[in-house]
C-alpha cells in the first residue's frame, strides 16, 4: 500500500491580482506561504519517500515550506516541466475580470474550464493531460507500486489532469472540478495502484 498526496501551490501574486498565470514564473504571496505551512501541518503525521514539483517557483517554494514543516527536507525532490501549469497563451498576465468584459463570460469560461478548447496561443487541458499523465505513469507509478509514499506539489490544471486519470473523471465532469490552493488531496493505493480511498485533508 502507498500514499499519493497532490497539493496545489499556495496563493501566488497573480492569484491575488486575479490574473491568468499559466507558465509565468510568479512567486507566492505571504498568504500563499502561510497556506503551504498549513499544508505541512496537515501532513506532519505522514512520511514521504520522495517529492515531485514543476519548474515554476510558486510550486517549488510551496514544496520547500511543506518539507520544512514536516521535517523531511532530506528526501529526493524531482522537478519536471511535465508538471507545469498549462500555458494560457496570450491570456497570461491579463486580469480575468477585464478579459471577461472583453470576450464575454461564456467564452472565458470555455477557455478556463473546457477540456479540449485552448485559450488563444495556449494549451488546452487535453494537451496538459497529454504531458502530465505519461510522465506520472513512467516516473511516479513505479515508485508507488513499490510501496513508496509520494508528494506532488504542482498546479491547478496539471493536478486536475492527474485527478482525471486517478479517479476516471470524464472530460465533461472535470469542468466542474476545482482544486483550491494549499489543500492536500490524499490517495491510498494498493500494489496494483487501485485507489482504495481519496479525500481532502
Catalytic option among 9, 35, 123, 155:
9
In angstroms, the CA 118 to CA 88 distance is 8
Catalytic option among 35, 61, 85, 123:
85
Q: How many CA atoms lie within 13 A of 116 on its CB side?
A: 3
Active site residue 85: yes
Is there a contact between 56 and 15 (Cβ–Cβ < 8 Å)? Answer: no
Pairing of strands 195-200, 185-189: antiparallel
Q: Is 147 helix (H, G, I), strand (E, B) or coil?
A: coil
In angstroms, the CA 201 to CA 126 distance is 27
> Of the candidates 187, 134, 122, 191, which has an alpha carbon nearest to the alpha carbon of residue 161?
134
Is there a contact between 25 and 57 (Cβ–Cβ < 8 Å)? Answer: yes
Active site residue 172: no
- Cβ neighbours of residue 103 closer than 8 Å, sequence gap 6 or more: none
Q: Which residues are catalytic?
A: 9, 85
Amino acid at each position: 500500500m502507498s500514499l499519493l498526496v497532490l497539493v496545489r501551490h499556495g496563493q501566488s501574486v497573480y492569484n491575488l491580482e486575479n490574473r491568468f498565470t499559466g507558465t509565468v514564473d510568479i512567486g507566492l504571496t505571504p498568504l500563499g506561504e502561510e497556506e503551504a505551512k498549513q499544508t505541512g501541518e496537515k501532513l506532519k503525521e505522514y512520511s514521504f519517500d520522495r517529492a515531485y514539483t514543476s519548474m515554476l517557483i510558486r510550486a517549488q517554494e510551496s514544496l520547500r515550506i511543506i518539507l520544512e514543516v514536516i521535517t523531511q527536507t532530506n528526501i529526493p525532490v524531482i522537478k519536471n516541466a511535465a508538471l507545469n501549469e498549462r500555458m494560457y497563451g496570450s491570456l497570461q498576465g491579463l486580469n480575468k475580470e477585464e478579459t471577461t468584459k472583453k470576450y464575454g463570460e461564456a467564452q472565458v469560461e470555455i477557455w478556463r474550464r473546457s477540456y479540449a478548447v485552448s485559450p488563444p496561443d495556449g494549451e488546452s487541458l487535453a494537451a496538459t493531460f497529454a504531458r502530465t499523465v505519461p510522465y506520472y505513469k513512467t516516473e511516479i507509478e513505479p515508485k508507488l507500486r513499490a510501496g513508496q509514499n509520494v508528494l506532488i506539489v504542482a498546479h491547478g490544471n496539471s493536478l486536475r489532469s492527474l485527478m482525471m486519470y486517478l479517479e476516471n473523471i470524464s472530460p465533461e465532469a472535470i469542468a466542474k472540478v476545482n482544486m483550491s490552493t494549499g489543500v492536500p488531496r490524499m490517495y491510498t493505493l494498493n500494489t496494483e495502484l487501485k485507489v482504495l480511498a481519496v479525500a481532502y485533508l
